[in-house]
Amino acid sequence: MKRIIAALLTVILLCALCSSVAFASSHPSRVVDGADVLTDSEENSLASKLDGISAEYSVDIAVVTVESLGGESPAYFTESYFRDNGYGLGDDKDGIMLLFSAEVVDGGRDYYIYYSGVGYDAVNNDVEDLKDAIVGYLKSDDFVSAFDTFADECENYVDIEINGAPFNAIKSLIISLVIGFIIALISVSVMKGKLKSVRFQTGAANYQVAGSLRITDSRDVFLYRNVVRRARPQNTSGGGGGGSRSGGSGGKC
């Protein structure tokens, strides 16, 4: 009887293990090096890093390289690749994908960053900074540094979006504002002290030549009117196929 129970438990554990492996393998790889710019060990290391970040924040972070875009625009190619291959986690397809094309077109190689859901919220306002952080590495063919930096920056932006700004950043901002206020107060006090010849006056009599001002006539003249117009609210509830918020930006390297 004990042997039968042990055998059943073994079968159950094996089934659970197979199910978990099948579930994990159902997700596309977060590193697809079609242009072969990474070694196998570099690719594995990057994939492990991206898998860890994606699992921690439930936001897909992925890197894809291709030999050519096949004539498609970088924006269309990247968004299509993201959606058609099953990237993005949750209902809003939360994710950020960096695409690099090794093909030289119009004097440069294309790269594009696509983001969706929480990825959009985290990156959209800072995408130019994200691009600046990696484009130098891409231009010099230092792909390991480019992709590692991309992963680190995405983790930072997503963490701030989900958990809020780090306490140290808020503390630094408050300290900077206090120091700036103190410096401004000292500067104004110094300038005020130099104005010894100026005193507050309730009228303009001291600056007037006697008999020089005569008012012989007065009237009310209409000069202008201030008109404030407000746009009529538009009805945005109809039409369209819906979908999560998404965007992207790219360039040449």
Does the structure show a pLDDT above 70 at 149? yes
Q: Is residue 231 part of a domain?
A: no
Summarised one tens digit per residue, pLDDT across range 213-227 is 666 666 666 666 665
The amino acid sitting at 60 is: D
The domain that contains 123 carries what CATH number?
3.10.310.50
Indicate whether 105 belongs to any domain.
Answer: yes
- Does some domain include residue 174? no
> How many domains does the chain divide into?
1
Give pTM, 2 decimals: 0.63
In a domain, 5, yes or no: no
Spatial contact of 143 and 102, defined as CB atoms under 8 Å apart = no
Identity of residue 124: N
**Does residue 202 have a pLDDT over 90?**
no
Mean pLDDT, residues 23-34 taken together: 82
- Indicate whether 98 belongs to any domain: yes
Q: Dig out the tokens for 50 from the structure.
A: 């991206």
pLDDT at 125: 95
Is residue 161 included in any domain, yes or no? yes
Q: Which helix (H) or strand (E) holds 214?
A: none
Q: Does residue 213 form part of some domain?
A: no
Q: Is the pLDDT of residue 154 over 70?
A: yes
Running DSSP on this structure, what letter comes out for residue 94? B
Q: Look up the domain containing 130 and give its range.
A: 29-166+248-252
pLDDT digits (tens, 9 = 90+) for 75-110: 999 999 999 999 999 999 999 999 999 999 999 999
